[in-house]
Chains A and B, each alone.
Chain A
Amino acid sequence: MICLGIESTAHTFGAGICELSPETGFKILSDSKDIYRAPEGSGIHPREAARHHVEVCSDVIRQSLETAGKKISDIDFIAYSAGPGLGPCLRVGAVAARSLASYFDKELVPVNHAIGHIELGKFLGDLHDPLVLLISGGHTAIAGNSPDGWKIFGETLDLTLGQLLDQLGRYFGLSSPAGSKIEVLASEFKFNEKEMPHLPYTIKGNDVSYSGLLSAAKDAVAIGQPKKAVSFSVQEAAFAMLTEATERALSFTDRSELLVTGGVAANQRLSRMLQTMCDSRGVRLSVIPRQFAGDCGAQIAAAGFLFRENGYTVRAEKALVRQSWRIDRVQLGSGSKRKRAVA
């Protein structure tokens, strides 16, 4: 089976082609993308991002076919990211998927974006039943699969980790996504107890909260603390909170594998913290490779197989998007393989 996956939830328009067969297993044939860049000091404007997606959409899809060395006739079905995400952006991907599917008479499968991150990570890390730490601009959640779908063991009560870093970055005058720039700033801080701003560490059971941390970090900058020190302190507190919540969830669920996926998975400091924690518990850590950490078409194609198998195939006129499609609302697994609905 060959699947073309189309991703357009936020800043990235991506098209990826994946193959799944009993003989050769899972293979990524291509993964093309074009990322909308917000102006310095500002975040993603949904309308502007959608406009960007419209402009690059056909080139990205064409490129994914060329890289894979496939013609559209080789594609068995098309999967698109149906949510959660920014409405105007999601609609661009859905329109592209609908058009291709109806013109070339292909099966059309709506996919949950978050499960895309997870499925791709599972394939690439060769994992079976991991606890998942999903960290991006849209998610900060600790999830695990169960017979009746994904369950959330802990999540952020307010901002996501990506938002925390992006908003701090915006305050510094950087453009989103700012995570990697904050990481560089933090690594330039020469550690010294006295110069390290004191920031709140808010963990409630398995949940974390980042809004107080963001306000305190902004206040620290406002009274003249250097950006490097603030970046360092924010990373240390935010990541330690998350590592602690993840450790609790691992302990609660007794799992032996941890998958880290989503855009912020690219952060090296966070990976090191999680590695240290996993080593002490004898848990196998799998961090999604950097190039697939952020949003991409391959994740949608990877999840396409799962959603198709679970009866999500829709006719073009029913191929809708849903801006707030929580991962624990996705019906997978148990029950008959009846027709599933996005909405």
Chain B
Amino acid sequence: MIEAEPANFSPIDGAEARIELVDWYGKPAIRKARMPKPYRIELLDRTIRSRRTKEEVEILHACKLAGVDCPQVHFADPISSEIIMEYIQGTVLKDFRGDTENVLRQVGSKTARLHLNRIIHGDLTTKNMIISGERVAFIDFGLSFFSDRIEDRAEDLHLLKQALKSSESTRKANSQFEEAMNGYLDIAGKKDTAAVKKQIAKIELRGRYAQVD
């Protein structure tokens, strides 16, 4: 349990939703509302927002059962496309300046737990992981889905690698990613990890005009 420090959180108008701090029966909580996107036609927009809200709640629940830290859901409504969930105070991995080695190993092992429970995060970037003391929690399951295909697992990790690369030098990012893969190996075992790694290499080659390093 985190002590209820005074919550310090300014609303975020994210690409996907508006995230704000609300009061949930005396406790700080996060309200995630998928706002209508006026660039989409209404039919498409409505379908996408309500589908994603429902899926996110289902996934958050499955994530808890898989033993992976994520926000607890308090309330959800697919029609208004909003979810009220636990507020986890901490630093996002993108801005984290501590022992990244240990953190990335945890990121890797938790990703493996998700994958072994058929959960694909779908947006595994360094903005979607919160470091709170010893705790590493995953957030934003807005693009998550259920699948046990090696391809989907590999795509998840490929995105993590891309995210690391977009804020670090290629060399540093590669070693960070290696650390995460070590954590993955701890949980998923040799066979699965090798299969996923092989598939990641294939995905990298699939990018347009890609080539072998």
Q: Does B2 contact A (CB under 8 A)?
A: no
With A153-B166, A240-B44 as given contacts, are A324 and B211 in contact (CB-CB < 8 Å)? yes
* Nearest-Cβ distance from residue A112 to partner chain B, whole angstroms: 10
Asked whether A325 lies within 8 Å of B39 as measured between CB atoms, the reply is no
* Nearest-Cβ distance from residue A314 to partner chain B, whole angstroms: 20
Asked whether A155 lies within 8 Å of B143 as measured between CB atoms, the reply is no
Q: Does A10 contact B (CB under 8 A)?
A: no
Q: Which of B14, B39, B162 is in CB contact (< 8 Å) with A240?
A: B39
Asked whether B211 lies within 8 Å of A326 as measured between CB atoms, the reply is yes
Asked whether A201 lies within 8 Å of B44 as measured between CB atoms, the reply is yes
Asked whether B209 lies within 8 Å of A324 as measured between CB atoms, the reply is yes
Which chain B residue shows the least CB distance to A253? B166
Asked whether B209 lies within 8 Å of A252 as measured between CB atoms, the reply is no
Within 8 A of A (CB), among B14-43: 14-16, 37-41, 43
Asked whether A277 lies within 8 Å of B208 as measured between CB atoms, the reply is no
Q: Does B56 contact A (CB under 8 A)?
A: no
Asked whether A155 lies within 8 Å of B40 as measured between CB atoms, the reply is no
Q: Which of A207, A251, A325 is in CB contact (< 8 Å) with B209?
A: A325
Asked whether A240 lies within 8 Å of B208 as measured between CB atoms, the reply is no
Asked whether B211 lies within 8 Å of A193 as measured between CB atoms, the reply is no
Q: Does A291 contact B (CB under 8 A)?
A: no
Asked whether A326 lies within 8 Å of B210 as measured between CB atoms, the reply is yes
Asked whether B122 lies within 8 Å of A204 as measured between CB atoms, the reply is yes
Report how far A325 CA is from B209 CA in the complex, Å.
6
Interface of A is mostly: mixed
Within 8 A of B (CB), among A251-310: 251-252, 272-274, 276-277, 280-281
Asked whether B206 lies within 8 Å of A244 as measured between CB atoms, the reply is no
Interface size on A, residues (CB 8 A): 44
Asked whether A244 lies within 8 Å of B208 as measured between CB atoms, the reply is no
Report how far A17 CA is from B39 CA in the complex, Å.
38
With A248-B15, A252-B125, A276-B38 as given contacts, are A156 and B208 in contact (CB-CB < 8 Å)? yes
Q: Which residues of B contact A277 (CB under 8 A)?
A: 37, 39
Within 8 A of A (CB), among B131-149: 143
Asked whether B206 lies within 8 Å of A204 as measured between CB atoms, the reply is no
Asked whether B127 lies within 8 Å of A141 as measured between CB atoms, the reply is no
Q: Which residues of B contact A276 (CB under 8 A)?
A: 38-39
Q: Which of B15, B38, B208, B210 is in CB contact (< 8 Å) with A160?
A: B208
Report how far A158 CA is from B210 CA in the complex, Å.
12
Report how far A206 CA is from B165 CA in the complex, Å.
14
Q: Which of B16, B41, B169, B207 is in CB contact (< 8 Å) with A248?
A: B16
Asked whether A205 lies within 8 Å of B211 as measured between CB atoms, the reply is no
Q: Does B66 contact A (CB under 8 A)?
A: no
Q: Does A84 contact B (CB under 8 A)?
A: yes
Per-residue 0/1 for B140-174: is the Cβ within 8 Å of any A Cβ (1 yes, 0 no)? 00010000000000010001001001100100000
Asked whether B165 lies within 8 Å of A191 as measured between CB atoms, the reply is no
Most A CB atoms within 10 A — which of B39, B43, B169?
A: B39
Q: Does A196 contact B (CB under 8 A)?
A: yes
Pairs A–B under 8 Å by Cβ, sample size 14: A152-B162, A156-B208, A204-B143, A205-B122, A205-B123, A205-B159, A240-B37, A240-B40, A244-B15, A272-B39, A280-B38, A324-B211, A326-B210, A329-B209
Partner-B contacts on A (CB < 8 A): 84, 138-139, 141, 148, 151-153, 155-158, 160, 191, 193, 196, 201, 203-207, 236-237, 240, 243-244, 247-248, 250-252, 272-274, 276-277, 280-281, 323-326, 329
